[in-house]
Amino acid sequence: VQLQASGGGLAQPGGSLRLSCSVSGFSLGDYAIGWLRQARGKAREGVTCLTSSEDTTYYTDSVKGRFTISRDRTKNTVYLQMNNLRPEDTAVYYCARWPWAVVSDRLCKSGAAEHWGKGTLVTVSS
């Protein structure tokens, strides 16, 4: 199982970034997938999750209405569109996979994923 996030960088407050995650070694149609983040000095947290059937998404409260998770099974890629970025969104973002097709809101936000790859740094600053 491999997950490789990319697309991070520097953005101004109110700006946008789109993260991508290339996955291999498993099918996106079989597992719940999502994004975690870890800010300096803080614990890792779950940002968003998408169930394998794409019928349910979860978002941590601080990103609701601003972030959107999506995936393209033909490209084995997961995306995180981040709009209206805030300085508190500054963190290393990781693409992650859970060991089941479905996860609960609580499990998603706990960040307790089974697999995650090398992260990508997002810095929001003016």
Two tokens at 113?
């994923």
* CA neighbor of 79 nearest in space, from 33, 126, 32: 33
Phi and psi at residue 38, in whole multiples of 5°? Answer: -140, 115
- Residue 13: CB atoms within 10 A of its CB come to 13
Chain centre to alpha carbon of residue 18: 10
pLDDT of the chain, 126 residues: tens digit per residue: 999 999 999 999 999 999 999 999 999 999 999 999 999 999 999 999 999 887 899 999 999 999 999 999 999 999 999 999 999 999 999 999 999 999 999 999 998 899 999 999 999 999
At residue 3, the pLDDT reads: 96
Two tokens at 69?
């998770």
